Amino acid sequence: MTKKFYIKTFGCQMNVADSRVMGELLLKSGFEKTEDPSTADVVIFNSCSVRKHAEDRLFSNLGLTMKKNPSARFILAGCTAQRFGEKLLKRFKKLSAVLGPGEIFKIEKVVRDVLEGKKVIATGRTEYRFVERRADISENVVIGRGCNNFCSYCVVPFLRGREEYRPSSDILKEISCLVESGTKEVILLGQNVNSYRDPEKGLNFCELLDEISKIKGLLRIRFLTSHPKDVPDELVVLMKKNEKIAKHIHLPVQAGSNKILKQMNRKYTREKYIEIAQKFRSEIPDIAITTDIIVGFPTETEEDFFKTEDLVKKVKFDGIYVFKYSPRDGTSASKLKDAVSEEEKQRRHKRILDLARKISLARRASFVGKTCDVLFEKNEIGHNSQNFLVFKKGAKKGSFLKLEIKDVKNEMLLA
Ligand code: SF4
């Protein structure tokens, strides 16, 4: 009988992309996918270790699913698997395998092994390989893995390793294949896409974007994530002139105080960040700039926090992901005294969120009366170039329409 697998993803878009690859490899080897973990023979949790909250949620979910489906085999993949390795097999007796993010391409073998009753630890690093898949309208394409930056609060460089980039020929082949099967938008993924360097031809990120934009039938290119210290002027120029590149940049600022930025090892100042944002806004007036902010970093005083609020008001972000700081073992920030109380973190979190909401609503309202190119990833629901959600009654999945924005409701543009 065909064996069924279930995958649940925690964490970032890189994990979403990794789950997609694992699912596709298992389907190709004859396994069947189920959306119900209680009917699965193999349950895979693709985990995230970046924040403590995500890790706690993962462990409680894992324990509950093990109780509900005691006969299934369980695989813990992703960053948490990499972080704790064998220790997890001791902690969860029902767990059969730990599979780090560098070994996802081994998933078929790992699934076969656990079905035979073996215990598996796979936390090495295998070469990235292009996996053909059934294309959706918008597809994630991983251009590189790992990070060299060592921000003081972040576990990614320890768990996903140092930066490694795929050759442009491989990336272009993957995107061409996707476009032939119906993809209209790609989201290039990497921990730090701006430092892309083609290992074969030496192309930089802007040159890669330029090459990708020549693919016929591809309508839009997005990318995630950009580090503010690595944004070249060339990127602003390219985004301005190349119609296929979405008018949106996600540029995590993390904090608005130079003292905190230094302790975070971010390698830019608030002044530099504001200068970059202003450059984008003056060259590409309708660009959307989104960001990540951490509140309650150790030693963050009220004054430091005001500087973050002030920066948010100055840049007028179109969207902000706000996180409460939580120390992660092994990082240099975890050695600092976590001086900000939980209540204070909560208060700062809410203040930034409220401010962010007010600004992002005003930004969206400024689009009323304007015309936008909207790509519909689902019937009636799409995104414009700025990545704002757009609703249009009757619009068909896959259509790319020029639409006038008539109203805004709950952060959604109505066309
Ligand atoms: S740039 Fe900093 S925050 Fe982003 S993955 Fe690298 S170390 Fe982590």
Amino acid (one-letter) located at 255: A
The DSSP H or E segment spanning 371 is strand 371-378
Region 153-159 average pLDDT? 91
Confidence of residue 133 (pLDDT cuts 50, 70, 90): confident
Residue 338 reports pLDDT greater than 80: no
Give percent of the chain above pLDDT 90: 90
Q: Note the pLDDT of residue 209.
A: 98
If you take atom 4 of ligand 1, which residue's CA is the nearest one?
191
Mean predicted lDDT score pLDDT of the chain: 95
Residue 131 reports pLDDT greater than 90: no
Q: Note the pLDDT of residue 318.
A: 97
* pLDDT tens column, 279-312: 999 999 999 999 999 999 999 999 999 999 999 9
Tell me the C-alpha distance between 136 and 184, whole Å.
Answer: 8
Ligand 1 binding site (Cβ under 6 Å of any ligand atom): 147, 149-151, 154, 156-157, 191-192, 227
**How many whole angstroms from 22 Cα to the centroid of ligand 1?**
24
Cross-sheet strand order for the sheet of 407-409: 400-404, 371-378, 381-384, 389-391, 412-414, 407-409
Q: Note the pLDDT of residue 171.
A: 96
**How many whole angstroms from 157 Cα to the centroid of ligand 1?**
7
Greatest pairwise CA separation for the chain in angstroms: 64
Q: Which of 193, 97, 173, 168 is nearest to 130 (CA)?
A: 173
Q: Note the pLDDT of residue 29.
A: 95
Which atom in ligand 1 lies closest to the alpha carbon of residue 192? 1
**How many whole angstroms from 255 Cα to the centroid of ligand 1?**
14
Confidence of residue 375 (pLDDT cuts 50, 70, 90): very high
The DSSP H or E segment spanning 33 is strand 32-33
Residue 413 reports pLDDT greater than 90: yes
Contact call for residues 7 and 35 (beta carbons, < 8 A): no
* pLDDT tens column, 94-115: 999 999 999 999 999 999 999 9
Q: Note the pLDDT of residue 247.
A: 98
Q: Could you tell me the pTM of the whole model?
A: 0.93
Q: Note the pLDDT of residue 41.
A: 97
> Residue 222: CA atoms inside 13 Å, Cβ hemisphere, count?
25
* pLDDT tens column, 171-210: 999 999 999 999 999 999 999 999 999 999 999 999 999 9
Measure the CA angle with vertex 219, ends 218 and 221; round to 5°.
85
Tell me the C-alpha distance between 13 and 15, whole Å.
Answer: 5
Measure the CA angle with vertex 49, ends 47 and 55; round to 5°.
75
* pLDDT tens column, 9-68: 998 888 999 999 999 999 999 999 999 999 999 999 999 888 888 888 899 999 999 999
Pocket test for ligand 1, best of 13, 50, 192 (most atoms within 8 A of CB): 192
Region 114-138 average pLDDT? 90
Residue 337 reports pLDDT greater than 90: no
